[in-house]
Amino acid sequence: MALLILRTFLSDAHARGLEATGLLNREVTDPLLEERLVRIRAQITCALALRAMLTDLGFRDMPRTIDLRPIVATCVLNGILNRRHASILLQINKEANEAKHVVDFVSRL
């Protein structure tokens, strides 16, 4: 189980700005932290890989984001991905969003 404090992840400027809140050194735990991070890394990696593929194919008008959903939509619209591929990538997107936003998400391991 990962023991975390916010200060570890902040710049000095942000830490100084939040010093009076009491948040910086509050210990928190998350038994599913590593799974959360794996899901989020998969989402970002998918987005970056698709953007690289679009660039290699000469696309210049692609979404200026690493939000996976619009990138997948661009790929489907242009015949680069089929519905099955898109469905898998959107499931990866959904699982990463759960990892980021749901306190008690269901482990898939």
Q: What is the pLDDT of residues 50-100, one digit of tens each?
A: 999 999 999 988 878 999 999 999 999 999 999 999 999 999 999 999 999
**Rounded to an integer, what distance in angstroms lies between the CA atom of residue 54 and that of residue 103?**
34
pTM: 0.89
Flag whether pLDDT at 48 surpasses 90.
yes
DSSP letters of the chain? -EEE-GGGGS-HHHHHHHGGGT-TT--EEETTHHHHHHHHHHHHHHHHHHHHHHHHTT--S--SS--HHHHHHHHHHTTSS-HHHHHHHHHHHHHHHHHHH-TTPPP--
Domain coordinates of the chain in residue numbers? 1-31, 32-109
Structure tokens at 56: 């290699």
Q: Output the average pLDDT for the chain.
A: 94
- Sign of the Cα torsion 91, 93, 97, 100 reads positive
pLDDT of residue 3: 80
State the average pLDDT over residues 21-29: 95
State the average pLDDT over residues 17-46: 96
- In this prediction, residue 1 has a pLDDT band, given cuts at 50, 70 and 90, of low
- Name the residue with higher pLDDT: 104 or 72: 72
